Amino acid sequence: MLLDIDHVGIAVRDLEEAVEHYARTLGLAPVHREVVEEQGVEEVLFRAGTSYIQLLAALGPDTPVGRFLERRGEGVHHVGYRVDDLAGTLSELAAEGVPLVDEAPRPGSRGTSVAFVHPRGFAGVLVELVQEP
């Protein structure tokens, strides 16, 4: 079951500059920072209600976010949906013919389990399913 919007992932070129800008203009304090090597990103989270704004910087040009920045520039990279049963949700989506990037859950940040769903499945939006620990 889909519980909430977990986060909106925004690709930025300069993480420190973006963090400073979001903090100052929106009056928010960062609540989490993490390097996720498997995804090739460093992320900073701001809490917004029950959801997060996730600023994403690429660890190098040859990473998914690095290639996204090269191709499309800064902007919304993906939307994270919080679910209560990630493996079950993946099975349901596969049964509906929705193309998956990840067939099985893998580790995300904050101790979460995550799986990406191909943008073809959701009107051009890269979707990340997130299950909290």
Binding residues for Co ion, rule CB under 5 A, total 3
Binding mask 78-97 for Co ion (x = CB under 5 A): --x-----------------
Q: What's the min distance (Å) between Cβ of 26 and Co ion?
A: 19
Residue 42 sits in the site that holds Co ion (CB under 5 A): no
Q: Which stretch binds Co ion (CB under 5 A): 9-17, 27-35, 58-66, 117-125?
A: 9-17
Three-state SS annotation for 89-102: HHHHHHHCCCCECC
Shortest Cβ distance from residue 75 to Co ion (Å)? 14
Nearer to Co ion, 42 or 128 (CB): 128
Q: How many Å apart are CA 71 and CA 73, to the nearest integer?
A: 6
For residue 69, give the amino acid letter: L
CA atoms within 13 A on the CB side of 59: 11
Residue 9 touching Co ion (CB under 5 A): yes
Separation of alpha carbons 44 and 28, rounded Å? 12
The span of 20-28, 29-37, 93-101, 125-133 binding Co ion (CB under 5 A) equals 125-133
Q: Name every residue whose Cβ is closer than 8 Å to that of residue 19 and which is 6 or more positions away in sequence.
A: 30, 44, 55
SS3 81: strand
Under the criterion CB under 5 A, does residue 40 sit at the interface with Co ion? Answer: no
Q: Which positions touch Co ion (CB under 5 A)?
A: 9, 80, 128
